[in-house]
Amino acid sequence: MGILDAIQGTKVYLDTNIWIYALEGHPAFVQDLTQLFQSIDQGNLSVVTSELSLAEVLIKP
């Protein structure tokens, strides 16, 4: 079961962990996240996130 099979609807909220996994290229999630972002690029999904997610991603470890 891929990530796109688990999504119901066309609007998705992406929390901080998704952005971090995508930016770091986390090997356990790279295939699912690639499918997710391709679906977003193709216009099949709308994405929302929060200012808090942006602030958390911009902080360096």
Question: Is the pTM of the predicted complex or chain greater than 0.75?
Answer: yes
DSSP annotation of 13: E
Distance CA 56, CA 26 (A): 17
Euclidean distance between CA atoms 15 and 18, whole angstroms: 6
| 43 touches 8 (CB < 8 A) | no
Query: So what's the pLDDT on residue 61?
Result: 66
Domain that holds residue 21: 3-58
What are the pLDDT digits (tens) for 19-51? 999 999 999 999 999 999 999 999 999 999 999
How many domains, the chain? 1
